[in-house]
Structure 1
Amino acid sequence: MYPVDDLDARPVELGAREVELSALADKSEMPSDMTYVITGGCGFLGSHLVRMLLERDDHIRELRVVDKTVTDCVILDDKLCVYEADIRSKVKMSEICSGADVIIHAASLIDVPDGTFTEEELWDVNVRGTQNLLNCCLASDVRCFVYTSSVDAFGPNWRGDPLEDGDEESPYDRTHLPSAYGRSKMAAESLVLEFNGRTTKDGGKLRTCALRPPHIYGEGSTLDLSFIKVAKLGTRVSLPDAKARQAYVGNVALAHLQAAEKLASHDGLACGRVYNIHDDTPITNYQDFFEYLSPDVKINEKIILPLWLLYFIAGVFGSLRFLLKPFCNFVPPLSRATLLACNTTFYLSCTKARRDLGYSPIYTWEQSRQRTARWIEKQLAV
């Protein structure tokens, strides 16, 4: 199974209907009787999207969940259809998309740690896979397409230029993004916006938009859980003081559904646009963030080695990776892209999403923190 945007976690139990999700249905003007396709639906973000849509079952006719490997990752529901398929398959995805109204494309290869996948693999899934889905929309007369992009599609850049509260049009140099993952997401994002307004087979117009969340946390995030497990084993982890935004998975899922709602509405306001997404999670460094989620995580206050030396070591590993490329995919323990991401104050504003999509997070920071901390504690106890 290819990871699905931070996402290869199994979903947690559904539990009772929550006040926040009930409120969501009251606020929504989503057209009823729509058929949704969610790619990466067995992953971290995807599974939360599935559950949130099923909480609003009066708005959907059918929900089609797609993932490359399907096990016990979805909830049983009479409106739910689960497909084991590769997003790169033209035949299979055309069949799945036939008759659908909305595609929410959350499936992606995510390169953590940096270098886990080759650039060719990332491009094949993240870019060509997205292009295949867009072509399936045209051939199957699907009208709405919401793409899960990433803050990595915007920056930081190779120089590590900082950006605080940047918007979607901020003059930021993106000509040289440091990670292959970021470059693949930027290319896929551009494709999604380029396809907006194209004519479908039956003469309709495809409406597209892209969402750029930051690092997503919450129940099911194996990325955060892995970090905390390492720290709790007694390994003292050193993190820099650069600040970034994080976003809770439930709020990111909400933004996707509101984007789909806007695309399906008559005003066309969201068509062909990209939106930054975040919530009221504090803007902080990674050290403080992980301590919020698990207070006894052991983290050094300062970097053990000088930053210039770490960049030099990362450069050596990068050269070694290039030399070994014909023989194997060497995954370096340290990369320049990782260093830049961790040492650059870089975060974006979602004012545009609040204005155009009516986006307003339904989970407060304290709710998000408590839910995530409880899930992490439960996983560590297993």
Structure 2
Amino acid sequence: MSLAGVSCLVTGAGGFLGQRIVQLLLEEEEELAEIRLLDKAFSNEALGRFGKFQGKTEVKILEGDIRDVTFMLRACRGVSLVIHTASIIDTLGLIEKQMLWEVNVTGTQLLLEACAHCNVQYFIYTSSIEVTGPNYKGDPVFNGDEDTAYESILTFPYAQSKRLAEDSVLKADGQVLEDGSVLMTCALRSMYIFGEGCPFLQGHVDKCLLNKNVYLRFSRKEALVNPVYVGNVAWAHVQAAKALRAPQKAKHMRGQFYYISDDTPHMSYADLNYELTRELGFGIEPRLPMPLTMLYYFALLLEMVSFLLRPFVRYIPSTNRHLVTLLNTPFTFSYRKAQKDFGYVPRYTWEEAKQRTCQWIASMVPQRRLYLKSKAA
């Protein structure tokens, strides 16, 4: 099934993943009738990238807040497909829980309500591996799938907010719209996403530069995960959008979630950073700064200090127990179900993803060195 002639809304279109989804929709698809790009604010770089497109698809920029009901109704009117990537990502507890809930949970629910009012039939939600885990006990998963039994005990606000939002999306499948048609939904749970423009990767590179081109090891080598390249996650969204509009495929997809990974070798988060940049002469420390158990209790101590200081000052520790567990638990999942149900096949190989990401980092390093030097001065 093609997306030709479809009017599509992409939320979070100015973000790391959102921009890549938009790029694929504009460059690879048969001409959409219209694509609406929604975000709270767009960088000049993003606007410049969208402005270079010369196709027949009408591109409309919508800057506004996902919590604004009137704005969401205007954004959804006349649209048949919504790809919802907008959310606040927070692994350190930098964002107040109320704000996470307002954007990630309430914002998603308001968008679903707008879809019902505006007769939007197809809804794809960008979820996260964190809605699965790892749980606080650090129970591992090796090459799991959607049927793998796992005790998902979510204690961190970001993971909780994404799980509640995903639940809302999947439960909304089959909802009768105002024109009598029904809403069809699915969710894509991506692994950790890397690639050009990744803000987390840029942060790790900055720390590496400050440490004389050597990465601090924050995850043990045995903690294997399967990161996924941003181009492949974007491609999965496009393939899911096509399939959801095809009745024979939609009947298998509706109300379902899918793990989205690719053929990136399984490795720890720290070793991923190293693999992407070792050709640039970067190194990595051989072991954790302290034994894992000690690191966990050190994070607990930092959390206690943060709690005690809360009445006087807002102190956010550089790590926490959730992050220590997340980074040091083996946790890998297959994309077999996505391949079977809607034909997802990674568009980029690991070598291509690695080369593209390495080139981006290489182009960024001189500027980051100057920035960090001026900041230190």
> Equivalent residue of 2:83, what SS?
strand
What are the Cα deviations for residues 70-123 of structure 1, in whole angstroms up to 9, with x where unaligned? 2321312461100101111111011010010111000110004x1111222211
How much has 1:320 moved relative to structure 2? 3.1
TM-score in terms of structure 2 length:
0.90
Instruction: Write out aligned runs for 1:102-117 (5 A).
Output: 102-112=81-91, 114-117=92-95
* Cα pair distance change 1:106/1:236, threshold 3 Å: closer
Distance 2:31 2:86 in 1: 23
Instruction: Write out aligned runs for 1:300-311 (5 A).
Output: 300-311=285-296
Instruction: Write out aligned runs for 1:227-242 (5 A).
Output: 227-233=204-210, 234=212, 236-239=215-218, 240-241=220-221, 242=223
> Equivalent residue of 1:288, what SS?
helix
Is 2:275 the counterpart of 1:292? yes
| Amino acid aligned to 1:197 | G
Is 2:263 the counterpart of 1:280? yes
Distance 1:215 1:367 in 2: 17
Instruction: Write out aligned runs for 1:251-262 (5 A).
Output: 251-262=232-243
Structure 1 contact 290–297 (Cα < 8 Å) conserved: no
> Equivalent residue of 2:187, what SS?
strand
* Cα pair distance change 1:326/1:89, threshold 3 Å: farther
Q: What is the aligned partner in structure 2 of residue 3 from structure 1?
A: none
What are the Cα deviations for residues 297-343 of structure 1, in whole angstroms up to 9, with x where unaligned? 33211112122222222112223333444555431111001100111
What are the Cα deviations for residues 19-69 of structure 1, in whole angstroms up to 9, with x where unaligned? xxxxxxxxxx32420011001101110000111111135241000000101
Distance 1:38 1:305 in 2: 43
> Equivalent residue of 2:37, what SS?
strand
Instruction: Write out aligned runs for 1:142-157 (5 A).
Output: 142-157=120-135
Instruction: Write out aligned runs for 1:180-191 (5 A).
Output: 180-191=157-168
Q: What is the aligned partner in structure 1 of residue 58 from structure 2?
A: 79
Distance 2:29 2:69 in 1: 29
TM-score in terms of structure 1 length:
0.89
Out of 175, 200, 203, the position equivalent to 2:177 is 200
Q: What is the aligned partner in structure 1 of residue 16 from structure 2?
A: 44
> Equivalent residue of 2:179, what SS?
coil
| Amino acid aligned to 2:127 | S
Distance 1:70 1:313 in 2: 39
Distance 1:86 1:328 in 2: 29
> Equivalent residue of 1:294, what SS?
helix
Q: What is the aligned partner in structure 2 of residue 370 from structure 1?
A: 355
Is 2:96 the counterpart of 1:118? yes
Structure 1 contact 141–204 (Cα < 8 Å) conserved: yes
Q: What is the aligned partner in structure 1 of residue 195 from structure 2?
A: 218
Q: What is the aligned partner in structure 1 of residue 142 from structure 2?
A: 164
| Amino acid aligned to 1:169 | D
Structure 1 contact 67–86 (Cα < 8 Å) conserved: yes
Q: What is the aligned partner in structure 2 of residue 271 from structure 1?
A: 254
What are the Cα deviations for residues 328-381 of structure 1, in whole angstroms up to 9, with x where unaligned? 543111100110011100111111000001001111110110001001100112
Q: What is the aligned partner in structure 2 of residue 101 from structure 1?
A: 80
| Amino acid aligned to 1:363 | Y
| Amino acid aligned to 1:264 | R
Q: What is the aligned partner in structure 2 of residue 22 from structure 1?
A: none
Q: Runs of 5+ in structure 1 lacking a partner?
A: 1-28
Q: Runs of 5+ in structure 2 lacking a partner?
A: 368-377
| Amino acid aligned to 1:52 | L
Distance 1:375 1:218 in 2: 8
Structure 2 contact 189–258 (Cα < 8 Å) conserved: yes
Q: What is the aligned partner in structure 1 of residue 39 from structure 2?
A: 67
Distance 2:10 2:310 in 1: 34
Range with bigger deviation, 324-333 or 216-225: 324-333
| Amino acid aligned to 2:267 | T
Structure 2 contact 39–63 (Cα < 8 Å) conserved: yes
Distance 1:304 1:53 in 2: 44
Superposition CA RMSD, Å: 1.5
Structure 2 contact 2–30 (Cα < 8 Å) conserved: no
> Equivalent residue of 2:33, what SS?
strand
> Equivalent residue of 1:275, what SS?
strand
Distance 2:78 2:7 in 1: 7
* Cα pair distance change 1:337/1:59, threshold 3 Å: same
> Equivalent residue of 1:36, what SS?
strand
Q: How many residues align?
A: 352
Range with bigger deviation, 296-305 or 149-158: 296-305
> Equivalent residue of 1:58, what SS?
coil
Distance 2:146 2:308 in 1: 37
